[in-house]
Every structure is written in C-alpha cells, then in structure tokens.
Amino acid sequence: MKVNAKSNLRARFEAFVEILDGFENIDALLKTGQKTDTRMRADYLLQNRRVIVEQKTLESNPTGKPQQFADRIMRERGIVAYGRVTTQRIFSSQPDAVALQRDLVLSLAKVIDADVAKADKQTRDTRLDL
C-alpha cells in the first residue's frame, strides 16, 4: 500500500501493520476459500497467529456533544453564562456537579464503548477459529 503525507491515520496504520512479524490479513485469508459464516472477524493476525488485531477508527466527531449537553443543562436549570466558560464552571453551582460532569464524559464515551465492545467480539470470534 502506497502511503504519503496526506494519507489518513487508517491507511498509515494499514501500511505499518503489513511489515510486522507474521502479518496475515484475515479478509484475504477468507477470500482464499476458508470457511465463512456469519461471525465477525478481526482484521489481522501477527506473530504466527499469537496476536489478533482489530482496527477501529473513530468516524464521528463528538466535539459538539459537550456544548449540547451544557446548553441542555443551562436551559433546564435556568443557568446563565456569558462568553466562553468551562463545563466545570457551569456545573459548579449545582448540587450534583460531579454527577453532571460524569454524565457528560459518559455521553462522549458511548461511541467508543460500542466500538470496543464490537472489537472484543470480533477478536473473540477470531480466536475461536484459530
């Protein structure tokens, strides 16, 4: 795979992993006639199939989520803020400030959590086939 300075992170990682010890592309292996079923598989095998790699790329941009969350809390609770302020400053006057901050972080982590859970299933299914 040709990689240049403008390649995205996914393409650069794919080019890198191909040079590692014992690299096997699972999709290429399955195309060569090995059994297929409905299970999801990981992307790569390394070091004589001792390492299973599932590559995930965060495709969505969650940068608007903190603002949306803060706007909703301010609207619901009648909080007024002027200019640029941190969520900690907005939440600090609330009795549940720690819980609000935690809820904000958890809302951001949901996308990542779902990807990690899927990757875990893919590596587990791949391990069963080895």
pLDDT digits (tens, 9 = 90+) for 91-118: 999 999 999 999 999 988 887 888 889 8
pLDDT digits (tens, 9 = 90+) for 49-92: 999 999 887 777 777 888 899 999 999 999 999 999 998 899 99
Answer yes or no: is 3 within a domain: no
**Amino acid making up residue 99:** A
Q: Taking 70 as the threshold, does the pLDDT of residue 1 lie above it?
A: no
Where would I find the H helices in the chain? 9-17, 26-31, 64-77, 87-91, 97-129
Q: In terms of C-beta density within 10 A (0-12 exposed, 13-18 middle, 19 or more buried), how is residue 58 classed? A: exposed
Rounded to two decimals, what is the model's pTM?
Answer: 0.57
Rounded to an integer, what distance in angstroms lies between the CA atom of residue 6 and that of residue 12?
10
Answer yes or no: is 65 within a domain: yes
Q: Taking 80 as the threshold, does the pLDDT of residue 19 lie above it?
A: yes
pLDDT digits (tens, 9 = 90+) for 31-50: 755 555 677 889 999 999 99
Answer yes or no: is 110 within a domain: yes
Rounded to an integer, what distance in angstroms lies between the CA atom of residue 115 and that of residue 106?
14
Domain boundaries, position 60: 9-129
Total domain count, the chain: 1
